[in-house]
A and B are shown apart, each in its own frame.
Chain A
Amino acid sequence: MSAARSCRPPRALAGLFVWRLRNTGVRQIPCRFVHLYHVASNRLITFQYFNFLKRMYVTQCNKDLSQRAKPKSHSIASPFHELQQLDQEKKVVHKISPVSPVHQSWSEMSSSNEFGEIKSAAETEDSVITVGAESKEDRQWKEMKLRLDDLPGILARLSKIKLTALVVSTASAGFAMAPVPFELTCFLLASLGTGLASCAANSINQFFEVPFDSNMNRTKNRPLVRGQISPLLAVCFAASCGIPGIALLTLGVNPLTGALGAFNIFLYTCCYTPLKRMSIANTWVGAVVGAIPPIMGWTAATGSLDAGALLLGGILYSWQFPHFNALSWGLREDYSRGGYCMMSVTHPGLCRRVALRHCLALIGLSTVAPVLNITTWTFPVISLPINLYISYLGFRFYRDADRSSSRKLFFCSLWHLPMLLLVMFTCKKSVLEKEDKGDLPVGSHEMAMEIRLP
């Protein structure tokens, strides 16, 4: 792999990605990217890290506790294959420098392909069913013995730790938006509990989906697929995360949050995962799964299910659709072969309509926020540009229905949500106004902050 690194194209491509992402305005991590780019210019690491970050956002698509096949499919490994197929220029790809011939399709590609997958994809000109990473190691027979020092890494991958981190961050957003004084212990407990619940749900999801994961490029390197861990251990891990997590939420925060957490695990593992292969309704269920964490954050802070919680959940619910539908547009082949019922395959028109509909809904929801006293009226005004932009891209996707518009929409969704939440937070209605009603945390709490308006 390092040999490929020394080619110039990879670097140019990495640069292209930086440029792309910069252009799409990934505000959170621009410095990280720039830093990476400079530091790791000739190393595979840059690219891998790129993929890592992209993948992080890719998997974020499902914000829900699980990675839907889509999100899994999110990894753009398959679209890559499709691109290979569809591009008229098939270039002979060398094993060593797979990236250069891929240059053409690369510039169209969205992202998060693992390097190994790209290589393999590039190699097999017409094989849709790529056998796997070309790394020698992968071709060998491995002993199915669990090594303790591998265990943390394996468990991290099993629990989809990056996706979990994103889920926890949406829950924290929900917590932060709640109109109560900030309590650190509550916040930490809620985040930890949500994180554990998410780990459990993701592990069970992987446990259920082993043969399907092995057939889809994005997911074929998962621990259970590779036999690095036994199914029994996966289930035990899930139980040992889920039970303490829910207990922590119920006892340490409040029963409502615990109930929501348990419900979300159930929804994800027992409804969404099987539904993926049965009907397109899975997308809506998955969107609910993604919407629940911020609601959990809110109820953790306030202890009750207010309109504000539902609004936040609604925003995340609506966001899932442009995000996922745009992503799944490029993964139709893998879905079709894997047997996943997704709108992009079976009802493409509906897929695009729904994406557009929910982009517009985001505008509506942002306008409702001040009505419910969650934010000031500056919020709909400030968020209007980004909401209009994503709606515009949604409209383009609706009208053009091609790869480039779907990709544009997907990338926009990646930065749109963090920005929206950030703007929402800065426009949050001050808690100071509610001081007479509220009780300032004293004594046992380590720290109490009052959120002020900027």
Chain B
Amino acid sequence: PPAHSRSDWIGPPDKLSNLRPVIFYVPPEETALERRLREARQEAQASNQRFWARHNRAFRQEKEEFIYSRLKAKGLEMRDESGQKATLNAEEMAEFYKDFLSKNLKKHLQYNRDWYKHNFRITFLMGQVALVRALRWLRRRKKNAEQ
């Protein structure tokens, strides 16, 4: 993002986590409240990134392992004659999906709780910041009107 910009910038989805990173703008006159908001957002972003990058990587890995082990059991190689990657059909993969989901359920429950907490806190802080800014703006207008 350009140096003179006064707003946050959001980027393309991350390769691992599919989340879009945000670069936060730090205004020179940032109040304590605004700083808390920014830090909350940064923390949420980092935590989300960590979770999804790890989770997606695990998914990919386990999927490969599953396919490999199944192909091996069937006596096939990872790549067939034409050099194409061999795959299993939907029903076989379904077993993997079921397994993966049940294995990760607890992890997801914990993540859900954390995410909801982050989300509410951030939104609440945003509300506070917006309110403070609105009041400041109103006060400034009143002062201008008086002058």
By a CB distance below 8 angstroms, the chain A residues around B116 are 208, 274
Closest chain A CB from B132 CB (angstroms): 13
Is B22 within 8 A of A144, CB to CB? yes
A143→B119 CA distance, assembly (Å): 21
B69 at the A interface (CB under 8 A):
no
Is A128 within 8 A of B60, CB to CB? yes
B95 closest partner in A (C-beta): A348
By a CB distance below 8 angstroms, the chain A residues around B59 are 128-129, 336-337
A444 at the B interface (CB under 8 A):
no
B73 at the A interface (CB under 8 A):
no
Closest chain A CB from B116 CB (angstroms): 7
Closest chain B CB from A36 CB (angstroms): 31
Closest chain B CB from A324 CB (angstroms): 17
Closest chain A CB from B23 CB (angstroms): 8
B32 at the A interface (CB under 8 A):
no
A126→B5 CA distance, assembly (Å): 39
A85-B87, A88-B87, A142-B9 given; A333·B108 CB < 8 A: no
By a CB distance below 8 angstroms, the chain A residues around B94 are 332, 345, 348
B residues near A (Cβ < 8 Å) are 1, 5, 7-13, 15-20, 22-23, 48, 52, 55-56, 59-60, 63, 80, 84-91, 93-94, 96-98, 100-102, 104-105, 107-109, 111-112, 115-116, 119, 122-123, 126-127, 130
A140 closest partner in B (C-beta): B12
A359→B44 CA distance, assembly (Å): 44
A321 at the B interface (CB under 8 A):
no
B57 closest partner in A (C-beta): A129
Is B87 within 8 A of A214, CB to CB? no
A235 at the B interface (CB under 8 A):
yes
A residues near B (Cβ < 8 Å) are 82, 85-90, 125-129, 131-132, 138-145, 207-208, 210-211, 214-215, 220, 225-227, 230-232, 235, 274, 277-278, 332-333, 335-337, 339-341, 345-346, 348, 401-403
A345→B63 CA distance, assembly (Å): 15
A86-B90, A142-B9, A208-B116 given; A333·B20 CB < 8 A: no
By a CB distance below 8 angstroms, the chain A residues around B93 are 82, 85-86, 332-333
Q: Which of B5, B80, B97, B105 makes the CB contact (< 8 A) with A333?
A: B97
Closest chain B CB from A172 CB (angstroms): 34
Q: Which of B8, B109, B123 makes the CB contact (< 8 A) with A278?
A: B109
Q: Which of A142, A232, A332 makes the CB contact (< 8 A) with B97?
A: A332
Is A337 within 8 A of B100, CB to CB? yes
Q: Which of B8, B13, B16, B108 makes the CB contact (< 8 A) with A339?
A: B108
By a CB distance below 8 angstroms, the chain A residues around B88 are 86
Is B100 within 8 A of A129, CB to CB? no
Closest chain B CB from A123 CB (angstroms): 13
Closest chain A CB from B109 CB (angstroms): 7
A208-B119, A215-B52 given; A88·B112 CB < 8 A: no
Q: Which of A144, A232, A277 makes the CB contact (< 8 A) with B8?
A: A144
Is B85 within 8 A of A341, CB to CB? no
A136→B51 CA distance, assembly (Å): 27
A141-B9, A336-B97 given; A277·B108 CB < 8 A: yes
A230→B127 CA distance, assembly (Å): 11
Residue with the highest number of chain A CB atoms closer than 10 Å, among B11, B18, B22, B52:
B18
By a CB distance below 8 angstroms, the chain B residues around A207 are 119, 123
Closest chain A CB from B73 CB (angstroms): 18
A333→B122 CA distance, assembly (Å): 31
Is A143 within 8 A of B9, CB to CB? yes
A64→B130 CA distance, assembly (Å): 33
A90-B85, A214-B18 given; A403·B90 CB < 8 A: yes
A141-B10, A143-B7, A231-B126 given; A125·B101 CB < 8 A: no
Closest chain B CB from A351 CB (angstroms): 11
Q: Can you list 16 residue pairs at the A/B interface with Cβ under 8 Å?
A: A85-B87, A141-B10, A141-B12, A220-B13, A225-B20, A227-B10, A231-B122, A235-B123, A277-B109, A277-B112, A332-B94, A339-B107, A340-B101, A345-B98, A348-B94, A402-B91
By a CB distance below 8 angstroms, the chain A residues around B115 are 211
Closest chain A CB from B97 CB (angstroms): 4
By a CB distance below 8 angstroms, the chain B residues around A127 are 60
Q: Which of A131, A230, A232, A274 makes the CB contact (< 8 A) with B112?
A: A274
Is B56 within 8 A of A337, CB to CB? yes
Closest chain A CB from B89 CB (angstroms): 6
